[in-house]
Every structure is written in C-alpha cells, then in structure tokens.
A and B are shown apart, each in its own frame.
Chain A
Amino acid sequence: MSLAMKQQQNEEINLTPLSIAKPEAKLYLSFMYVAFISLFIGGLMGLLQVLVRSGDFELPLGIGYYQILTLHGVILALVLTTFFIIGFQYSLLGKTVGMSDKQRKLGWLSFWTMTIGTALTGTAILLGEANVLYTFYAPLKAHPIFYIGLALVVVGTWIAALVNWHQVYVWKKAHPNQKTPLLAFMVTINMIMWVICSLGVAVTVLVQFIPWSLGYTETINVLLSRTLFWYFGHPLVYFWLLPAYMAWYAIIPKIIGGKIFSDSLARLSFILFLFFSIPVGFHHQLTEPGIDPTWKFIQVVLTFMVIVPSLMTAFSMFAMFETTGRKQGATGLFDWFKKLPWKDVRFVAPFAGMVAFIPGGAGGIINASHQLNTLVHNTIWVTGHFHLTIATTVLLTFFGIAYWLIPHLTGRKLTPKIHKLGIYQTIIWAVGMLIMSGAMHIQGLLGGPRRSSFSEYGGTEQAAEWVGYQTAQAVGGTLLFIGIVLMIYIFMELLAFAPKGEEEFPIAEEEEDAQPTPSWMENWKLWIGITIALILFAYTIPMIDIIQNAPPGSPPFDNIL
C-alpha cells in the first residue's frame, strides 16, 4: 500500500498534460485528412449502394455494384478507421507521455507506408481489378497489387505500434515508480492486441495470397486463409472499439465536468479485452463445413467473456454520469441525467454512440450464439449490426473526438455554431441509422442476404417483400450521406475557417480521494503471456486439424468478378 501511496503522490507532479508542438500537430492532422477524405469517398459509395438496392437506380459507366461495395468496405472499415485510430493514438501519447523528434520522424514513416499502401489497394479497386470485397475470401483472386497495398497498410501500423511503445517506454524510464498515464496504458494495450492479431492476416497475405496471386503457387488452402483472416477479423473490431472506449473512460468525464470513475477498473477492462478479443474468430465461421463443432463452441464461450468488460464499461459510464450530475446539485432518482451537457457536441455525439451500443451489443450476442447464428449468418441483419457498432458507436465517438482534436491541432476554436451543427449532424446520423439499420435487421430476419446487388430472385414473394425494406435502407442511407456531407463541412471549418484560439485537449483526472491503482496492472509480460496462452489453447488443435485434413487446394478465380 505504501508504495501505491507514493505513486499517488508522484502522480501529482505529473498531472499537467504536455503541449503539442506544431510539427507534431502536422503529423496527427495528416492522419485525419486521410480519414475524412475516406469518409467522404466511402460514404458516397454507400449512398450508391442503397440506391442500387432500392431497384430504381442503375450505376452509370459500367461501374459494377461489387466494385463500389469493395471500395466502401476497404475505405471505411480499413482505411478510415485505421488512419483515425493511429492519428488519435499518436496525439494521446504526444499529450500524455510526449514524442521525440526521432519518434515523430518514424511517425511520418508509418503515415507514408500506410498511405502508399492505401493508394496501391485503391488503384487496384478503381481499375476494377479487385472486386473481392474487403474480406477478399479465396479463391476469388484480386490483382496482386491489392494484397501488397493491404500488407503495406499493416506494416505501417506496426511501425506506429513500435513508436507508441517506445514513447511509453521512454516516459516510464524517466518516471520510475509512477503508473503509466491511463490513456497511454490503453494505447499500449490496443497496439499489443493489434500487432498480435494482425500477424494472422499478414501470414495469410504474405504466405498464401501474394505468391498465389502472382502465380508462384498454384493453389491456396481456402479454409486456412479464412481462419487466419478471422483470427484477425474479430480483434479488428475491438481495435476500432477500444479507441472509442479510451474517449469514454478518460476524456468524456473531463468534458462533462466530472472525474474518472475508477482508474483501476478502466485498466482491468482493457486487459480483459486484450485476453478475449483474439481467441474467438470461429464465431465468424460457425456455418462453415470444415471446423470441428466442439472447437466452434469453445470459441463461442471465449467470445462471450468480453461481455464482462463490456458490462464494466456500461456501469462505469453511467456511474460517472450520475456522480457528476449529483455533484452539480442533482437530486432525486434521474435528475442527474438532465444535468449532462446536452448542448456540448463533444459529449452528445459520443453519447448517441453509447446508446447505439446497447442494441449493437445485444445483436452481437445473437450473432455469436453458436446455433442461433445459422438464422442470421450472411443475412443483411449482420450488415445492420455492424452499422450500429462500427458506423454509429465508434464513428460518432470519433466525430466527438474530432470536434475538439482538430481545432486543438489547428489552433482554432470550436464555436457555438459548430456545436449546434454537430448536434444536428448527430441527430441526422441517429435517425438515418435507425431507419437503415432497423430495416436491415428486419429484412435479415426474413432471410434477405447481405452483400448482394438488387435482385428479384426469379420473382418470389419473399424477394418482393424485401424490396420495401431496401427502399427504407435507401431513405436511411440518403440521410446518412447528408450527415457525412455536414461532417465534412464541419471538418473543413475546424481545419481552416473557425476563429483562431485555443481549444482544450480534455483529459480527465481521478477523484482526489481515489483508490490507488495496484502496480500489478502493468505486468505486461503476464498479460501478453495469458493472451498468447489463450490463443494457443483456442487455435492449436483446430489449426492442426485444418491443415492435416485439408482437401485439394483451390486455383485462383478472377474471370467471374
């Protein structure tokens, strides 16, 4: 205890966050440029998709539906998210533990590696040489440049991870016996998870896809490639979510005038996310013929373990809201709710995201429920699900971050006018998504498939019934596109037109009488060891089975795209 108390005292010295110098701001902003350009392109593709699926619109100039679907998925799910996250995480570390000149240079290396990779992959898609969707399932074959570009994006993120860890390491050395700042701790966890999981996709792309697409190997083990993909694909969604949680745990309390609910619980929930995000990929492969059902079930159980940190997060958020409201004089059972800053877009946008995570999370539980998955697998229910989680919960939180991060970096002010516009943006988004995602969920339950261009399916009654929901999706999707245009306008305002001034980089503090955080929380070797042990447990036997009992491999197919 006495050591912890000492830590607590040392902490006091370290409370003032660092300031971000101009050259650093430029680096962080560069990631934001790519993220918001991606948002616009990807959103436009989404608009075209819902219009095509309404049945009243045809794409001009021989553009294919699956080409724009590939672009939509790659540029939003992979490019927008990754660039925003890496840029945001750099800024968090720059603010809490600092960034040296050398680290900044390596930061630029990570940016350019990712950007060149994105350009290569984007070129392959725009030329129509990669209509394989963002999951690029073998044996559909894209142009090798598509895979090489994706590999470069991943390599760029690895450089970022090394820089991030080095930033924390340098700070740690200069501040012995102090706990790592909460946000730096969270970034460290997220990047550990990311590197461990992206090894899977790197192996399948480098060892399987690239040689096969270049013609050096004749066939590919389809199930192995899918298994490696989903070993990466599920933690990928937590890689999107954890930065939103960083903002919820450690930034929102400051915005609403409160304190962190519990530093240790926040850290513990991140540790649990590290453990249970990776050994769970089979729940994306439940209806596949080649994986042993017992191992599927084991991974289903492991999947559901993330419910524990999710419940912890939900509790912490509302406890923090209530505590803050009561400190500001709220009485009665729910009065504190009114005390929340409903005119502050930095709070309102992420709050709408939190609300969306209630049905989003519940839908996720349904999807991963072993047998129940058969009912919804590959129906448009799933598309509805992840438009709630990634495209609402995560994205609205990212917008909530952008409202203060961009002006902080450009030396401008978030004006009352932009607050207002941002709240309209949030409302448009929430309504548009309620309509689009709601219609997707219902159509999915009726059997309507995902990832499909408009089709009457030979004129069946069922297919005729689906068209009505697709029209609703077009209405919702159009609203969402209006939301994107508004967001791009806000982004440009904050970038270049808003009045000059200082915008706060909000970092919440602990209560003065907060319990000290135990030092074992930073036992990295133990956390990484447990993570790897869980992965080995969940994957070793089924992987051996998949490789040993493999059917003949598949040659590439690109003449049907």
Chain B
Amino acid sequence: MHLHKYEKIWLIFGGASLVLFLAILGFGAFYLGTHPQSHGVTIDPENVEANEAFQRENLGITQVDDDKYIVNVVASAFNYDLGSDEEGNAVSHIEIPKGSTVLFQVVSTDVIHGFNVAGTNVNMMVEPGYISSMEVQLNKAGEFTLLCNEYCGVGHHMMHATVEVVDDESGNETAAE
C-alpha cells in the first residue's frame, strides 16, 4: 500500500503530537495524581446514615484542621441536604475561606445526580450506591452556584445551593455581621 510523501509527514506529525499529548495526560494522572474522581466506595442508598459521614449532624461543612474542611452532602430529588443551621433551617449556602482544602463527599438516596460547583473543578456524577468524593483547593474568592447537572426528574433545574469562597477580610466582616 502506497502512502504519499506528504501524507507520511502529516501522519508522523499527527502521531507524534498524539503521543506527546497522551504522555502529558498520563503524567498528570499517574505522577501528579489528578485522576477524575473514582474511588469505588460503595454505600447502601437506602441507608446512607450507616456511614458516619452522612448522618444528619455531620452534613454540611465541617472544619477538620486549620485550612481543611469536609463538606458532606446527601443528594435526592430535588435537593442537596447540607444539614441544618442552629435554628433548624435547612442550609442552602456554605462559606469556605479562600485557599483552604476541601473534601466534598456526596451520596444519592434515589436516582443519579450531578454535583457541580460551577466555575470550579468540582464536578462529579453522584450515583446511588457509591460515594462520590473529590478534594480541591479553592483559591478564587466569590460566590459559586452548586447545581445538579445530570437530569434527575421534573425538578432537576431547581436543585441548587451556593458555595461562597470568602477572602480572610470579607470573611471577618461576614462574621461581624
């Protein structure tokens, strides 16, 4: 089979770019450890409270160290359960100091949901039976929309909350208010 000279050049150039590209992806995945979320940790979707992280009092944001937080969420049609505040109202807004490391852990009690903090790298599928989790560092201040981006039923587009990444100073102001 005959290959035109230019086609050889074209394919060698294309093939080499491809190899380089895949090497970069592989370096990111296996050396730097930036895989998409995949932990294979299972849970009974009808009894998520069997796992301590998803008991009512542990939902929402918890500080675990100086700059470390855990956010536990139970997703169900059409709501993200982020726990309750002191008055017993459902939380729909969480604040995280800028620069802190946050571990998001999310489960579903019914169908498949999405968990996307729009504008950040937090983007996970949440499937009944598995714990979705992802650790990120939030370095950009601002208010981000947490929303469901996998169709889950008639109220899918009403499933949302907000995540605010606060600068140290503005964080103090909020506390003062």
A316 to B131, CA, bound (A): 48
Contact of A560 with B110 in the complex, beta carbons under 8 Å:
yes
A137 touches B36 (CB 8 A): no
**What is the bound-complex CA distance between A296 and B155, given in angstroms?**
31
Question: Which residue on chain A has the smallest CB distance to residue B151?
Answer: A451
Question: Which of B6, B124, B156 has the largest number of chain A CB atoms within 10 A?
Answer: B156
Contact check, A222 vs B128: say whether CB atoms are below 8 A apart: yes
- Contact across chains for A139 and B110 when beta carbons are under 8 A apart: yes
Q: Which residue of A lies closest to B160 (CB)?
A: A457
Within 8 A of B (CB), among A514-535: 515, 517-518
Q: Which of A64, A223, A289 contacts B37 (CB 8 A)?
A: A289
Q: Is A378 an interface residue (CB 8 A)?
A: yes
B38, A457: Cβ atoms closer than 8 Å: no
Bound CA span A291–B114, Å: 16
Answer yes or no: A489 CB below 8 A from chain B CBs: no
The answer to whether B29 touches A370, judged by C-beta atoms less than 8 angstroms apart, is: yes
**CB within 8 Å of A: which B96-137 residues:** 110-112, 114, 116, 118-119, 121, 123-133
Q: In the complex the two chains form, what is the Cα distance from A369 to B126 in whole Å? A: 20
A452 touches B40 (CB 8 A): no
- CB pair B125–A287 under 8 Å, yes or no, is yes
Select which of B118, B130, B156, B160 is within 8 A of A289 by beta carbon.
B130
Q: Which of A59-81 contact B (CB under 8 A)?
A: 64, 66
Q: Which B residues lie within 8 Å of A365 (CB)?
A: 21
Which of chain A's residues 303-318 have a Cβ closer than 8 Å to chain B?
304, 307-308, 311-312, 315
Q: Note all chain A residues with C-beta closer than 8 A to B21.
A: 304, 365
A140 at the interface (CB under 8 A from B): yes
- Interface set, chain A 299-346, CB cutoff 8 A to B: 300-301, 304, 307-308, 311-312, 315, 319
B90 located at the interface, meaning its Cβ lies under 8 Å from any Cβ of chain A in the complex: no
Once A223-B127, A312-B7, A378-B149 are accepted as A-B contacts, the answer to whether A291 and B38 lie under 8 Å apart by CB is: yes
Q: Tell me how far the C-beta of B170 lies from the nearest C-beta in chain A, rounded to whole angstroms.
A: 15
Please indicate the chain A residues that have their CB under 8 angstroms from the CB of B128 in the complex: 139, 222, 551, 554
Q: A137-B112, A369-B25, A378-B114 are in contact. Are A552 and B35 (CB under 8 A)?
A: no
The answer to whether A458 and B92 have CB atoms under 8 Å apart is yes
Known: A222-B129, A458-B162. A319 touches B123 (CB 8 A): no
B153 touches A370 (CB 8 A): no
Q: Check A449 against B147 for contact (C-beta < 8 Å).
A: yes
Query: Does A446 belong to the interface (CB within 8 Å)?
Result: yes
Write the chain A residue with the least CB distance to B134. A374
Q: Mark B42-59, 1 if CB is under 8 A from A, else 0.
A: 111110000000000000
Residues of A within 8 A of B160 (CB): 455, 457-458
Contact: B111 with A552, CB < 8 Å? no
B21 shortest CB reach to chain A, Å? 7
A446 near B10: Cβ-Cβ < 8 Å: no
The chain A residue with its CB closest to the CB of B123 is: A374
Of the stretches A9-17, A94-102, A262-270, the one at the interface is A262-270
- Bound: A225/B2 CA distance, A: 44
Tell me the bound Cα distance from A463 to B162 in angstroms. 11
Task: Determine the chain A residues whose CB is within 8 A of the CB of B144 once the complex forms.
Answer: 447, 460, 462
Contact B25 A551, beta carbon cutoff 8 Å: no
User: Which parts of A443-474 form the interface with B (CB within 8 Å)?
Assistant: 446-455, 457-458, 460-463
Given A287-B124, A371-B35, A373-B36, check contact A560 B153 (CB 8 Å): yes
Find the B residue at minimum CB distance from A461.
B143
Would B149 and A552 count as touching, CB distance under 8 A? no
Q: How far is the CA of A290 from the CA of B130 in the complex (A)?
A: 7
- Min CB distance, B86 to chain A, in Å? 21
Given A296-B35, A375-B123, verify A446-B28 contact (CB < 8 Å): no
Contact A288 B44, beta carbon cutoff 8 Å: no
Cβ–Cβ contact B37 & A463, under 8 A: no
Q: Shortest Cβ distance from B143 into chain A, in angstroms?
A: 6
Give Cα A286–Cα B35 distance, bound, in whole angstroms: 9
Expressed in whole angstroms, the minimum distance between the Cβ of A281 and any Cβ of chain B is: 14
User: CB-nearest residue of chain A relative to B40?
Assistant: A290
Would you give the 0/1 interface string for B148-171, flagging 1 where the beta carbon is closer than 8 Å to chain A? 111111111110111000000000
Contact between A446 and B112, CB atoms less than 8 A apart: no
B41/A289 in contact, CB under 8 A: yes
Given A452-B156, A552-B44, the answer on whether A289 and B7 have CB atoms closer than 8 Å is no
Whether the Cβ atoms of A293 and B36 lie closer than 8 Å is yes
Instruction: Flag A523-561 by CB within 8 Å of B: 1 or 0 each.
Output: 000000000000000000000010001111110010011
Does A49 lie at the interface of the complex (its beta carbon under 8 Å from any beta carbon of B)? no
Once the chains are docked, how many angstroms separate the CA of A264 from the CA of B22?
Answer: 28
The reply on A165 being an interface residue by CB < 8 A is no
Q: Quick one: which of B6, B126, B153 contacts A140, CB cutoff 8 A?
A: B153
Residues of B within 8 A of A554 (CB): 45, 111, 128-129
Q: Is the CB of A448 within 8 A of B112?
A: no
Using A293-B38, A311-B10, A551-B42 as known contacts, say yes or no to A453 and B127 having CB atoms under 8 A apart: no
Q: Does A460 contact B143, Cβ atoms closer than 8 Å?
A: yes
Contacts of B22 in A (CB 8 A): 300-301, 304
CA gap between A312 and B28 in the complex, in Å: 29
Among residues 373 to 420 in chain A, which have CB atoms less than 8 Å away from a CB atom of chain B?
A: 373-375, 377-379
- Chain B residues within an 8 Å CB radius of A288: 38, 125, 127, 130
- A340-378: which residues lie under 8 A (CB-CB) from chain B? 365, 369-371, 373-375, 377-378
B contact residues around A133 at 8 Å (CB): 151
Once the chains bind, are A222 and B153 in contact (CB under 8 Å)? no
Contact residues in B for A371 (Cβ distance below 8 Å): 25, 28-29, 34-36
CA distance A255 to B121 in the complex (A): 48
* One of A289, A375, A451 near B39 (C-beta < 8 A): A289
Can you pick out 5 interface pairs between chain A and chain B where the beta carbons lie within 8 Å of each other? A374-B37, A447-B116, A460-B143, A460-B145, A462-B119
4 closest A-B pairs (Cβ-Cβ)?
A447-B118, A551-B129, A560-B153, A449-B149
**Other 11 A-B pairs with CB < 8 A, given A447-B145, A461-B143:** A139-B128, A222-B129, A265-B3, A268-B1, A308-B11, A370-B36, A374-B36, A551-B43, A554-B111, A557-B111, A557-B153
